[in-house]
């Protein structure tokens, strides 16, 4: 039996004990759920739009290799340089080379979850390049030396008092305040300076349209946009699954993503980037690069069921609605992506042996799949990965089979023997009724159960006996 | 209630009953109440003694082979073409929505699919197929409802049980905050990650208590075992009931 990692559980238990954190998350997630619900008053329209979103992403995924080639051709035609990275290390090296070639020493960053996958800021720091996050939430956690706890609102675990103290400590000349406007203004002063001086800008990508060779970005603060067009060079980063077939596909996806994420009809800014500054234009970067990262996605893509997870448009509705995430927050999930989508992606990207314990962080309640705007069957995928963790199918998932457990095998063999055979079932349940109530509450499993619950009482008679007595037919 | 949702040609003369293993072991009277309601609604109930469990615990943990063996025993236990009525949205959801996945690519899949099509959740069946009418004979009571996740999200049973409760003249149904949120049971989840499960059920109990209801009613004894167990341990002044038992009590156990 392999030694199971308890990182997730330990972190989760620690988070559960932090009442402030739980209150913060509960309040914000409830607000987000209500805002989303208000955006979709008509259930038929919602279902029609979800079906449309799913079909757009399915169509793109069905043609993924061809669309990536088409995207590259059209990006190049537009003057955007394209780079392919199979691994996180390769992605980091490519970007470092681009920066070194341009003699760039500083980078202003728009928000990008893929860069979190690559631990990009840390990598740049090691290579003496200063990267500054321009998304307010990302800026806050960068100052705090933390990772994002939510994929859309990365600093949501911090309240304004905590942010006030952080700014006082980390920003020169900044006194304490918990006024959100003053805090925002303080961040703005630091960031504006960087926007003016940074050698390069950086961003993620929400959608990449193959037919026009355009990169589409959604943001609310405007800092994402400034990160892409103020510095003389813009480097964008995306996973291979971000490509869509046509620019016109973007409309429904934006509508779904924004309404599902923050309950907005649309984000304040939607940028469509189709190339560097052209001759005669007065602004815009002179150089635009796109780095396209695999990092395990091709392996996910190769399995028809697991591929469904690649439809994700990173709206975070699954975590906003997750009763587990709501109580423990995002950091407990240990790896880049928290919540239900993280339960799918982290074990596949990191390997089940490393990140597989999170697969059990779900009661399988199904709320995530119910709200997913592109209909990812998150619960079915979690169960599938649980299966891969113990009985792998071919080579579908990294670390498949690494959670095999001899003891669990014995338990389930016993269970099957009892429940697949009517005679054994009668006999087994007869014994449970006789002796079940004598089991001490300190037994394994029962101990966990009775931590907050009374011991369930076995009934003295079977329903089949009662039914026979009361004349119910058995045939 | 409109009959339009009934996929059957009318009201069936005979139905099968699948009480579930949890009801058999812990709550047989709740299961018997479901049988009684079906009889009162005008159908004959047959409960095969060869059945056991839907197989969900193994399937949810990824042990498909074991789940399939147990599923096969259920397929064999219900040979006639009668509807199979289940007083649990979760077990019904396992059989209706997950059996096809367990038998994917196997020769018996068509037979499995035919079985799945016959599976119904009890309250949905009472409302849409049996068109049951209830006459409340009980004292005034204030109750709240807990909808099970699988009942709502796999079986599409959301309003049916609440409509039945609302049809009772002396029953006041009050909605708890976060009514549609999981109670934290999740089968093995409750013992694999007991602290998270405990946090979920504690919140659930607090929200139930805050309604001022004296009883919480649900259509799934899995959730109820969790919620009632937590209420009992916390000495909360609320009693947990399966909806079948609650309804039968309201319309009078003795009346034919």
Per-residue pLDDT reduced to its tens digit, A134-170:
999 999 999 999 999 999 999 999 999 999 999 999 9
Q: Which residue has the tokens 């924004």?
A: A258
What is the distance in angstroms between the Cα of A413 and the nearest Cα belonging to chain B? 7
pLDDT at B253: 84
What is the distance in angstroms between the Cα of B23 and the nearest Cα belonging to chain A? 8
**CB-nearest partner of B198 from A380, A408, A452:** A452
Mean pLDDT of chain B: 96
- Domain limits, chain A: 1-39+313-404, 43-295, 408-469
pLDDT at A6: 52
A19: number of Cβ within 10 Å:
8
Mean pLDDT of chain A: 96
**Binding-face residues of A in 41-80 toward B, CB within 8 A:** none
A7 touching B, CB under 8 A? no
Per-residue pLDDT reduced to its tens digit, B191-200:
999 999 999 9
What's the DSSP call for residue A265? S
Distance, CA of A306 to CA of B10 (rounded, Å)? 41
**CB-nearest partner of A464 from B49, B63, B188:** B49
Query: B-chain residues within 8 Å CB-CB of A464?
Result: 24, 47, 49
- Give B220's contacts (C-beta < 8 A, 6+ positions apart): B88, B89, B90, B148, B150, B151
Give me the mean pLDDT over the A170-188 stretch.
Answer: 96
Distance, CA of A23 to CA of A386 (rounded, Å)? 31
pLDDT at A395: 83
**A-chain residue closest to B153, CA distance:** A366
How far CA A253 is from CA of A88, A111, A153, A322, A340, in Å, comes to 27, 19, 19, 22, 20
Per-residue pLDDT reduced to its tens digit, A202-241:
999 999 999 999 999 999 999 999 999 999 999 999 999 9
- CA quadruple A265, A269, A274, A279: dihedral sign: positive
Distance, CA of A154 to CA of A135 (rounded, Å)? 9
* Strand ranges across the sheet with A287-293: A80-85, A287-293, A233-239, A200-203, A106-109, A130-133
Distance, CA of A424 to CA of A67 (rounded, Å)? 56
B236 touching A, CB under 8 A? no
A126: number of Cβ within 10 Å:
11
* Strand ranges across the sheet with B141-146: B171-174, B141-146, B215-218, B239-242
How far CA B195 is from CA of A6, A12, A338, in Å, comes to 13, 8, 18
**CB-nearest partner of A462 from B24, B65, B230:** B24
Cβ–Cβ gap A420/B185 under 8 Å: no
Cβ–Cβ gap A419/B70 under 8 Å: yes
pLDDT at A7: 85
Per-residue pLDDT reduced to its tens digit, A297-353:
999 999 999 999 999 999 999 999 999 999 999 999 999 999 999 999 999 999 999
A466 touching B, CB under 8 A? yes
Output B183-187 pairs: Cβ under 8 A, ≥24 positions apart: B183/B146, B183/B223, B183/B226, B183/B227, B184/A323, B184/A363, B184/B226, B185/A363, B185/B222, B185/B223, B185/B225, B185/B226, B186/A362, B186/A363, B186/A364, B186/A365, B187/A363, B187/A364, B187/B56, B187/B57, B187/B60, B187/B222
Q: Say if residue B2's pLDDT is above 70.
A: no
Q: Say if residue A374's pLDDT is above 90.
A: yes
Instruction: Return phi, psi of residue B120, to 5°.
Output: -135, 145
**CB-nearest partner of B189 from A362, A459, A462:** A362
Cβ–Cβ gap A323/B229 under 8 Å: no
Cβ–Cβ gap A472/B46 under 8 Å: yes
Per-residue pLDDT reduced to its tens digit, A18-50:
999 999 999 999 999 999 999 999 999 999 999
What is the distance in angstroms between the Cα of B208 and the nearest Cα belonging to chain A? 16
B63 touching A, CB under 8 A? yes
Three-state SS letters, B20-77: CHHHHHHCHHHHHHHHHHHHHCCCEEECCCCCCCCCHHHHHCCCHHHHHHHHHHHHHH
Distance, CA of A62 to CA of A58 (rounded, Å)? 6
Distance, CA of A463 to CA of B19 (rounded, Å)? 8
**A-chain residue closest to B227, CA distance:** A453
User: Three-class SS of residue B194?
Assistant: helix
**CA-CA-CA-CA torsion for B89, B92, B93, B97, nearest 10 degrees?**
-160
Q: Say if residue B255's pLDDT is above 90.
A: no
H helices of A329-377, in order, are: 339-350, 352-355, 367-371
Q: Which residue has the tokens 């003016």?
A: A196
What is the distance in angstroms between the Cα of A58 and the nearest Cα belonging to chain B? 21
A360 touching B, CB under 8 A? yes
User: Three-class SS of residue A124?
Assistant: helix
Per-residue pLDDT reduced to its tens digit, A93-125:
999 999 999 999 999 999 999 999 999 999 999
Cβ–Cβ gap B195/A13 under 8 Å: yes
Distance, CA of B157 to CA of B88 (rounded, Å)? 11
How far CA B47 is from CA of A471, A473, A474, B19, B51, in Å, comes to 11, 6, 5, 8, 9
pLDDT at A37: 98
ipTM, interface predicted TM-score of the complex: 0.96
Q: Please provide the distance, in angstroms rounded to a whole number, between the alpha carbons at the two ends of chain A.
A: 44
B7 touching A, CB under 8 A? no
Q: Which two tokens stand for residue A35?
A: 């805002």
Distance, CA of B188 to CA of B159 (rounded, Å)? 28
H or E element: which one contains A202?
Answer: strand A200-203
- Domain limits, chain B: 14-129, 141-251
Query: B-chain residues within 8 Å CB-CB of A466?
Result: 28-29, 32
Please check whether the domain covering A43-295 is classified as CATH 3.10.20.30.
no
Please check whether the domain covering B141-251 is classified as CATH 3.40.50.
yes
Give me the mean pLDDT over the A271-300 stretch.
Answer: 96
A67: number of Cβ within 10 Å:
22
What is the distance in angstroms between the Cα of B68 and the nearest Cα belonging to chain A? 9
**B-chain residue closest to A409, CA distance:** B63
Cβ–Cβ gap B28/A463 under 8 Å: yes
How far CA B65 is from CA of A47, A412, B115, in Å, comes to 34, 10, 19
B137 touching A, CB under 8 A? no
Per-residue pLDDT reduced to its tens digit, B123-165:
999 999 999 999 999 999 999 999 999 999 999 999 999 999 9
Q: Which two tokens stand for residue A326?
A: 């709501």
Give me the mean pLDDT over the A358-365 stretch.
Answer: 97
What is the distance in angstroms between the Cα of A220 and the nearest Cα belonging to chain B? 30
What is the distance in angstroms between the Cα of A204 and the nearest Cα belonging to chain B? 33
Total length of chain A: 475
**CB-nearest partner of A420 from B25, B72, B199:** B72
Distance, CA of A390 to CA of A386 (rounded, Å)? 7
pLDDT at A2: 36
Cβ–Cβ gap B51/A422 under 8 Å: yes
- Give B99's contacts (C-beta < 8 A, 6+ positions apart): B71, B112, B115, B116
A11 touching B, CB under 8 A? no
B184 touching A, CB under 8 A? yes
Q: Which two tokens stand for residue B95?
A: 């059989």
Q: In the structure, what pLDDT confidence band is assigned to residue A3 with cuts at 50, 70 and 90?
A: very low
User: Three-class SS of residue B141?
Assistant: strand
- Give which of A414, A413, A458 is closest to A433, Cα–Cα: A458
User: Three-class SS of residue A443?
Assistant: coil
Q: In the structure, what pLDDT confidence band is assigned to residue B256 with cuts at 50, 70 and 90?
A: very low
**Interface size, chain A vs chain B, as Cβ–Cβ contacts under 8 Å:** 197
- Give which of A221, A139, A206 is closest to A174, Cα–Cα: A139
């Amino acid at each position: 039996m392999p030694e199971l990692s308890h990182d997730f559980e330990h972190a989760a238990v620690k988070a559960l004990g932090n009442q402030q954190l739980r209150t913060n998350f509960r309040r914000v997630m409830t607000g987000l759920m209500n805002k989303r619900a208000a955006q979709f008053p008509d259930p038929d329209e919602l279902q029609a739009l979800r079906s449309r979103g799913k079909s757009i992403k399915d169509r793109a995924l069905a043609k993924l290799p061809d669309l990536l080639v088409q995207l590259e051709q059209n990006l190049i035609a537009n003057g955007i340089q394209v780079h392919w990275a199979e691994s996180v290390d390769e992605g980091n090296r490519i970007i470092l080379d681009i920066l070194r070639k341009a003699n760039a020493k500083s980078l202003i960053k728009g928000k990008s979850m893929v860069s979190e996958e690559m631990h990009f800021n840390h990598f740049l720091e090691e290579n003496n390049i200063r990267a500054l996050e321009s998304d307010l939430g990302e800026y806050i956690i960068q100052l705090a030396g933390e990772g994002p706890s939510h994929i859309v609102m990365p600093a949501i675990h911090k309240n304004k008092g905590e942010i006030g103290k952080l700014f006082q400590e980390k920003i020169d000349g900044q006194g304490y305040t918990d006024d959100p406007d003053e805090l925002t203004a303080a961040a703005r002063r630091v960031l504006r300076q960087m926007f003016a001086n940074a050698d390069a800008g950086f961003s993620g990508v929400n959608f990449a349209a193959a037919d026009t060779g355009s990169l589409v970005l959604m943001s609310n603060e405007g800092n994402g946009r400034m990160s892409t067009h103020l510095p003389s060079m813009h480097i964008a980063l995306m996973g291979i699954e971000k490509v869509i077939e046509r620019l016109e596909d973007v409309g429904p996806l934006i509508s779904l993503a924004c309404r599902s994420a923050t309950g907005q009809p649309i984000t304040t800014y939607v940028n469509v980037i189709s190339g560097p500054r052209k001759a005669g234009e007065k602004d815009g970067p002179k150089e635009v690069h796109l780095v396209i990262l695999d990092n395990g996605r091709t392996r996910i893509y190769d399995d028809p069921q697991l591929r469904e997870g690649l439809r994700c448009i990173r709206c975070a509705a699954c975590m906003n609605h997750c009763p587990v995430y709501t109580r423990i927050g995002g950091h407990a999930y240990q790896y880049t992506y928290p919540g239900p989508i993280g339960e799918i992606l982290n074990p596949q990207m990191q390997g089940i042996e490393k990140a597989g314990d999170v697969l059990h962080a779900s009661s399988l309640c199904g709320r995530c799949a119910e709200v997913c705007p592109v209909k990812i069957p998150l619960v079915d995928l979690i169960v599938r990965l649980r299966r891969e963790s113990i009985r792998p199918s071919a080579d579908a998932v990294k670390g498949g089979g690494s959670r095999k457990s001899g003891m669990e095998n014995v338990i389930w063999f016993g269970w099957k023997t009892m429940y697949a055979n009517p005679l054994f079932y009668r006999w087994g349940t007869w014994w449970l009724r006789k002796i079940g109530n004598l089991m001490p509450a300190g037994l394994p499993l029962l101990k966990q159960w009775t931590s907050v619950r009374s011991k369930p009482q076995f009934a003295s008679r079977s329903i089949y006996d009662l039914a026979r007595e009361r004349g119910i037919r058995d045939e | 209630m409109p009959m339009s949702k009934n996929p059957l040609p009318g009201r069936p003369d005979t139905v099968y009953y699948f009480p579930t293993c949890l009801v058999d072991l812990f709550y047989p009277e709740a299961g018997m109440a479901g049988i009684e309601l079906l009889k009162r609604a005008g159908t004959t109930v047959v409960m095969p003694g060869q059945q056991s469990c839907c197989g969900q615990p193994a399937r949810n943990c990824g042990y498909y082979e074991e789940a399939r063996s147990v599923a096969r025993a259920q397929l064999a236990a219900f040979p006639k073409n009668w509807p199979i009525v289940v007083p649990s949205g979760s077990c019904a959801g396992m059989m209706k929505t997950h059996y096809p996945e367990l038998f994917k690519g196997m020769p018996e899949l068509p037979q499995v699919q035919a079985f799945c099509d016959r599976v119904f959740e009890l309250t949905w069946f009472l409302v849409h197929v049996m068109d049951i009418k209830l006459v409340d004979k009980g004292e005034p009571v204030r109750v709240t409802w807990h909808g099970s996740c699988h009942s709502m999200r796999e079986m599409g049973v959301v309003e049916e049980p609440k409509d039945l409760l609302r049809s009772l003249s002396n029953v006041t149904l009050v909605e708890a905050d976060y009514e549609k949120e999981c109670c934290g049971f999740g089968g093995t989840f409750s013992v694999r990650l007991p602290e998270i499960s405990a946090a979920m059920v504690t919140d659930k109990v607090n929200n139930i208590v805050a309604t001022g209801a004296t009883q919480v009613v649900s259509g799934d004894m899995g959730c109820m075992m969790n919620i009632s167990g937590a209420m009992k341990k916390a000495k909360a002044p609320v009693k947990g009931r399966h909806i079948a038992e609650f309804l039968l009590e309201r319309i009078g156990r003795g009346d034919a």
